[in-house]
């Protein structure tokens, strides 16, 4: 009877821990001097609550980012409601406060007693407040969190006893409040201090949830959990044996006390809730608030998870239960997992590969489940200037756009922040691999003992938190760090302070944080990386960096990160970097005029208005002048490109002119990036064996001229559709360098399919009126050609090459300004047929002999319906060839995306397109404002 009672008590206590959610309303935000006091919520940041309370205007509207800068220079205090429930339930229980994220320099009190201080936005903080609550005289204690001004604090740190002269030098940190400066002193999202696509708002506040956990003796609370799934014998950065069984390793961080006899059990269920297996973990160990165990799972017991376009995203629910005395359950951790191996292969190019034409050096490609694949995608930046405003709808839409455009990878740029789990969850479901980075970017970071401890703590927490996600592809130490080192500070024989600091943090500390927690994920110290000379997991420096060591002038080792803003050479393919992988490349463009309408006053909606100039943060490298003059220089790069390559708008109506200019900058951007993607993809079959293209960048966080393909409201630019087209599994593309005197035109077919394909390319020369042209040369004016393309490779259509195109056209009496080469490829793989079309014009559209295409649009009779409904349109060029047909919806009352946009039409050609609606607040009236344009419209007044 007594035993039964004891067991009943233990079972009850296992589920009796009381968790009080402190998120939501009921908080108050106070200014530094007390003159401002407004209702607040958690999670939040000071700008968000001040805007809700109408104390300030929209921080990203007009010039408010400058006019309201006083906000970031003050301290702000969040005060909770009366926490009476915590006081009354504390008598028999311990109480811990758990802060999932505080941004950034915070002083915490409870019942007017000090709880603690924080200084790292990226960490989870746990404080035992049992003694404070028991000694508190008030029955209604309140929690207060005072946030210091990060701008003021970082500048003070730069001049204080912990100042790092090297960091001050490298980052121009000094006694000022300019953007960018001193940011390395804050473990805070670095783009908060401003970036060339972001305002310098520097928010502060409890940006993640807060909760209190109360437990009696015998209970534990799981505060974090690591799940590492890998093939038996697998190690980081090395190829696993795909024939080995899976190892499921789980390590749970907890608050509370476990008995020494504690055990762990795994239950695995499929997406339908069916139990796949249930088994005990073995080798259970406990140490410093962590319990760890593992088990093996047969290779055939589970199905593989694959990225988008390569297979099914099979996911399972893994429930790991901690058991105490008598095997009674104490607590359970549940995570969604997938079974896959992911590797960044940096191994040496083999002799066999060299014999097949691959350049010597080292690989730089990803492998999923043992299969090398071409990484297609973009770079992902914070989706809002304020993280608490980011919601599931916005992220789901972004991933929907990514999957619809053939992407399989996004690089989560630093800095940035470490993405919350729910975003990784969305990527798991979508099949989008997330190249993840530690939050260090374009700077040199302090290496004092205190800072090193912070780096280690945040790395351990986030590696353990995210490792169970099938979408996690890589950990990189930071953004462009090795490139900066090699460009400015590297010394192979006598390393200076900056090089030593870089190596201490990124080649010694951070890899140890990854390798100590995971055997499944590769690590590199920098997004730009030349690889390693040796790999020793037991060494102080596990990867010995290669830096500039090479086996010869033809050897290739690194990925590339390159930008070009000089208009005359945008399409000079000889200027594109040749490397193994392209992780950053881009060109900027305006957002749509419709997006500007929500971000600028009506009298500011023109091309170089005060608002537009203020929102443009990109300036030419090394340029000097005041902020407005520098901004205009950056805008001029877009202007020059439009005037050089397109019919520049000059419309009488100011609004129409602004709309046309915004769109034209987007077309230049789209054309430039599509050419680069095609070039990089072609490299998969050339000596560089180039295996990835991640353009800069997918998304935006405010209305501004930036590199994005998707605007801050998820409205798509032309680039989104151009990248979708050129990311098609099988493509045909023309390669012609207008800057070259050789006038050599080549046509290639590229495939990222995992098996070889036989393809047929058809081609025809026409003029802009749609009339066939007679073109000399071996290929003639039209025809077809066969080509074989290997797995993840490319092949030239050798029968379709014009070694002197200019001469060929001239000898046939063809005006190059009135000539187009229309290309189509068809390839079959299994039962699937892949097709793709491209149009090549030997001269820019600025001087082309455009005609009126007389576009005719057939609309559906009704466009009403809930989100997710698809509406079919037809567009026909009835008069002539139409260049860059753009379908537009002139209202923000509907959101969604097109199946295709920004395409060419031959005369008489009809194209059916579908618009997928996300939200429709117009009740179908958006259809009335739908329009179609091409570059002929730019020539009209």
Residues 6 or more apart whose CB falls under 8 angstroms from that of 360 comprise: 349, 354, 551, 552, 554, 555, 556
The DSSP secondary-structure symbol of 835 reads E
Give the CA distances from residue 709 to residues 76, 77, 712, 883, 928, in Å, rounded to whole numbers and listed in that order.
36, 38, 10, 20, 26
Q: Which residues are catalytic?
A: 480
Residues 251 and 249: their CA atoms lie apart, in Å, by: 7
Alpha-carbon distance of 181 to 183, in angstroms, equals 6
Asked if residues 571 and 565 have their Cβ atoms less than 8 Å apart, the reply is no
8 Å CB contact between 749 and 742? no
Interatomic CA distance for residues 643 and 366, integer angstroms = 40
Distance (Å) of CA 924 to CA 363, 633, 895: 52, 42, 12
Q: From CA 730, how far away is CA 723, in angstroms rounded?
A: 13
Tokens of 807: 């001469």
Least Cα distance to 373 among 473, 250, 256 occurs for 473
Burial class (CB in 10 A: 0-12, 13-18, 19+), 268: buried
Q: How many CB atoms lie within 10 A of CB 209?
A: 16
Element of type H or E holding 871: strand 870-877
The answer to whether 268 touches 316, Cβ cutoff 8 Å, is: yes
Distance between CA 503 and CA 512 in Å, rounded? 13
Considering Cα of 353, then 359, then 363, then 369, what sign does the dihedral take? negative
39 vs 29: CA distance, rounded Å: 6
Q: Residue 196: which of 618, 534, 530, 546 has the closest Cα?
A: 618
DSSP E strands, 120-160? 125-128, 143-147
d(CA 378, CA 413): 10
What is the 3-state composition of the chain as percent helix, strand, coil, each rounded to the nearest 5? 25, 30, 45
Classified as helix, coil or strand, 482 is helix
Partner residues linked to 318 by β-bridges: 268, 335
Q: Taking a C-beta distance cutoff of 8 angstroms, is the pair 41, 24 a contact? A: yes
Taking the C-alpha atoms of residue 183 and residue 684, their distance in angstroms, rounded to an integer, is: 39
What does the angle CA 878 – CA 879 – CA 882 come to, to the nearest 5 degrees?
85
Task: Enumerate the H helices of 517-618 as residue ranges.
Answer: 593-597, 610-615
Q: Which two tokens stand for residue 425?
A: 């969850």
Q: How far apart are CA 610 and CA 630, in angstroms?
A: 13
Kindly report the number of other CB atoms within 10 A of residue 798's CB atom. Answer: 11
Place of tokens 């009921």: 26
The C-alpha angle 85, 89, 92, rounded to 5 degrees, equals 165
Distance (Å, whole) CA 50 – CA 28? 11
Q: In 10 A of CB 556, how many CB atoms? A: 22
Spell out where 153-262 has E strands.
210-215, 220-231, 246-256
């Amino acid at each position: 009877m007594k035993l039964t009672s004891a067991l009943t008590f233990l079972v009850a206590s296992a589920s009796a821990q009381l968790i009080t959610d402190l998120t939501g309303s009921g908080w108050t935000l106070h200014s530094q001097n007390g003159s401002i006091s407004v209702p607040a919520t958690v999670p939040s940041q000071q700008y968000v609550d001040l805007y809700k309370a109408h104390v300030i205007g929209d921080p990203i509207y007009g010039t408010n980012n400058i006019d309201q800068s006083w906000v970031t220079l003050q301290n702000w205090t969040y005060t909770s409601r009366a926490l009476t429930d915590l006081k009354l339930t504390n008598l028999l229980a311990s109480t811990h406060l758990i802060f999932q994220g505080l941004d950034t320099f915070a002083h915490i009190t409870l019942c007017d007693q000090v709880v603690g201080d924080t200084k790292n936005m990226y960490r989870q903080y746990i404080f035992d407040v049992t003694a404070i609550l028991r000694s508190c005289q008030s029955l209604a204690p309140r929690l207060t969190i005072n946030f210091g001004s990060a701008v003021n604090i970082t500048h003070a740190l730069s001049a204080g006893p912990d100042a790092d002269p090297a960091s001050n030098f490298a980052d121009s940190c000094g006694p000022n409040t300019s953007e960018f400066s001193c940011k390395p002193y804050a473990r805070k999202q670095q783009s908060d201090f401003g970036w060339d696509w972001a305002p310098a708002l520097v928010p502060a506040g409890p940006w993640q949830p807060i909760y209190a956990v109360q437990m009696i003796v015998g209970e534990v609370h799981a505060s974090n959990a690591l799940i590492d799934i890998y093939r038996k014998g697998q190690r980081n950065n090395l190829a696993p044996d795909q024939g080995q069984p899976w190892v499921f390793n789980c390590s749970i961080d907890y608050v509370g006390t476990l008995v020494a006899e504690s055990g762990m059990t795994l239950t695995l269920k499929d997406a339908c809730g069916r139990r796949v297996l249930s088994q005990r973990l073995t080798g259970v160990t406990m140490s410093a608030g962590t319990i760890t165990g593992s088990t093996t799972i047969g290779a055939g017991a589970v199905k593989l998870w694959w990225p988008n376009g390569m297979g099914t995203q099979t996911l399972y629910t893994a429930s790991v239960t901690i058991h105490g005395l008598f095997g009674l359950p104490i607590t359970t951790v549940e995570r969604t997992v997938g079974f896959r191996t992911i590797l960044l292969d940096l191994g040496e190019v083999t002799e066999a590969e060299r014999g097949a034409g691959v350049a010597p050096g080292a690989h730089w490609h990803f492998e999923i489940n043992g299969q090398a694949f071409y990484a297609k995608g973009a770079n992902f930046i914070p989706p809002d200037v304020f993280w608490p405003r980011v919601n599931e709808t916005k992220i789901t839409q972004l991933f929907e756009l990514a999957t619809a455009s053939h992407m399989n990878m996004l690089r989560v740029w630093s800095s940035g922040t470490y993405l919350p789990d729910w975003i990784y969850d969305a990527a798991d479901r979508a099949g989008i691999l997330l190249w993840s980075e530690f939050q260090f970017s374009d700077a040199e970071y302090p290496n004092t003992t205190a800072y090193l401890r912070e780096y280690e703590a945040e790395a351990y927490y986030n590696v353990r938190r995210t490792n169970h996600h099938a979408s996690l592809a890589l950990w990189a130490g930071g953004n462009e760090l090795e490139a900066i080192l090699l460009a400015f500070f590297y010394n192979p024989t006598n390393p200076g302070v900056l090089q030593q600091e870089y190596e201490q943090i990124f080649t010694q500390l951070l890899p140890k944080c990854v390798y100590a927690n995971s055997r499944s994920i590769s690590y590199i110290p920098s997004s730009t990386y030349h690889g390693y000379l040796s790999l020793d997991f037991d060494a102080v420096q596990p990867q010995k960096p290669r830096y500039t060591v090479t086996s010869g002038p033809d050897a290739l080792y690194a990925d590339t990160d390159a930008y070009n803003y000089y208009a005359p050479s945008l399409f000079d393919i000889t200027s594109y970097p040749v490397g193994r992988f392209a992780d950053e490349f881009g060109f900027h463009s305006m957002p749509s005029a419709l997006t500007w309408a929500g971000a600028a006053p009506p009298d500011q909606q023109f091309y170089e208005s005060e608002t537009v100039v203020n929102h443009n943060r990109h300036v030419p490298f090394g340029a000097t002048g005041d902020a407005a003059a520098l901004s205009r220089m950056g805008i001029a790069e877009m202007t020059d490109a439009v005037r050089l390559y397109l019919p520049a708008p000059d419309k009488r109506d100011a609004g129409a002119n602004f709309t046309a200019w915004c769109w034209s900058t987007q077309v230049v951007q789209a054309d430039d990036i599509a050419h680069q993607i095609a070039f990089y993809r072609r490299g998969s079959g050339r000596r560089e064996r180039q295996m990835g293209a991640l353009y800069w960048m997918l998304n935006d966080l405010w209305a501004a001229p930036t590199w994005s393909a998707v605007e801050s409201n998820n409205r798509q630019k032309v680039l989104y559709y151009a990248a979708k087209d050129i990311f098609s599994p099988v493509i045909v593309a023309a390669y012609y360098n207008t800057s070259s005197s050789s006038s050599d035109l080549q046509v290639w077919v590229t495939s990222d399919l995992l098996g070889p394909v036989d393809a047929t390319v058809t081609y025809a020369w026409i003029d802009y009126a749609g009339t066939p042209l007679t073109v000399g040369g071996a290929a003639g004016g039209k025809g077809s050609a066969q080509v074989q393309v290997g797995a993840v490779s490319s092949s030239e259509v050798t029968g379709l090459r014009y070694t002197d195109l200019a001469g060929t056209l001239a000898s046939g009496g063809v005006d190059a300004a009135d000539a187009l080469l229309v290309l189509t490829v068809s390839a079959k793989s299994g039962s699937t047929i892949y097709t793709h079309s491209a149009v090549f014009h030997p001269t820019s559209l600025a001087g082309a002999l455009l005609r009126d295409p007389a576009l005719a649009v057939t609309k559906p009779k009704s466009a009403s319906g809930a989100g997710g409904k698809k509406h079919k349109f037809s567009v026909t060029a009835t008069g002539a060839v139409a260049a860059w047909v753009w379908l537009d919806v002139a209202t923000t009352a509907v959101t969604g995306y097109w199946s295709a946009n920004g395409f060419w039409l031959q005369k008489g050609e009809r194209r059916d397109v579908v618009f997928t609606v996300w939200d429709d607040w117009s009740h179908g009236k958006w259809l009335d404002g739908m329009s179609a344009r091409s570059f002929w419209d730019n020539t009209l007044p």
